[in-house]
Amino acid sequence: MPTAPHAHGAVSRSGLVFAVAAYGLWGFLPVYFIALAPSGPFEIVAWRVLLSLVFCAFLIGVTRAWRPFAALLRDRRVVLTMGLAGVLIFVNWQTYVFATLTGQVVEAALGYFINPIVTVFLGVLVLGERLNAIQWVAVGVSIVGVVVLALGYGQLPWIALMLAFSFGFYGLIKKRVGPKVDAVSGLTIETMWLAPLAVVQLVFVAMTTGLTIGTVSAWHTILLLMAGAVTAVPLLLFAAASRRLPLISMGFIQYFAPFIQFLVGVVVLGEPMPLERWIGFALVWLALIVLTFDLVRGVRATRRTPLEPI
């Protein structure tokens, strides 16, 4: 059993390793998808869905977790909720792979930078939560940043907004089911819902541009067959980290992934970063700093508050 870092203020070393590994793998996803060329986004996402289902089923079998998984399948509310979550993660995956393969990795990174702010905003709109003054400042600064980026792009950064809102709503849905559904079971049910759609996509690709699996090279086929593991492993690492680390630590480490993606886009792929984009990103980063400051302040205030007698 992991120690309780929340109670003692200590940070689990294994938790840090798991968290950095999870977000590091997510950060380098663009490199993996680009290596799958000439496969298109429809084929990649379809294989990602089907192979994730196979990989998760394998994990459930190895861990002998079929009984609790079968119990989840008998819960109609959980199954339907995971179906909606599956639709949102499918939109997120499809948008992300499209962005990566069309040279828009920087805008995809922006989507995950603004995701925490979108999550706060959705808390107000959907859950009726109230923001304090500092949180409103963070939301306002991020909106200005998006406007600056829209002016720079000449259009709304729709890829970033699609990624941020699809993952934001996905997070809300996962929050509703809570710890009742573990990472592997959740992804299994989600991909079960998406499997028919993935098959339709593969048929469509086969009838139009043609499937690339098994036709390019042995290395390409191996990489494509790894899509299930590439999808599931970071989720498992994230689940392990979240059980061992306090929320504030996870809050800081979550920026690893978009930061690595940003570096991949700018440094490795050489995507353009004119002045207005730097200004827009700087405003979004400023909003994240403000939001993080508020999170730290809230955690410290909670620790200083004495426990009331039961």
Give the tens place of pLDDT for each residue, 37-76: 999 999 999 999 999 999 999 999 998 889 989 999 999 9
Query: Of 57-71, 118-132, 272-286, where does mean pLDDT reach its minimum?
Result: 118-132
Phi, psi of 255 (to 5 degrees): -80, -5
Give the confidence band of 126 by pLDDT, cuts at 50, 70, 90: confident
Q: Which of 118, 117, 111 is nearest to 95 (CA)?
A: 111
pLDDT at 247: 61
Residue pLDDT, tens place only, 202-222: 999 999 999 999 898 999 999
Q: Annotate 214-279 with DSSP letters as a single string.
A: TTS-HHHHHHHHTHHHHHHHHHHHHHHHHHHS-HHHHHHHTTHHHHHHHHIIIIIS-----HHHHH
Count other Cβ atoms within 10 Å, centred on residue 177.
Answer: 18
Model pTM? 0.85
Q: Which of 12, 8, 4 is nearest to 303 (CA)?
A: 8
pLDDT at 173: 86
Question: C-alpha distances in angstroms, 163 versus 91, 99, 192, 248?
Answer: 8, 10, 22, 23
pLDDT at 299: 62
92 has a pLDDT exceeding 50: yes
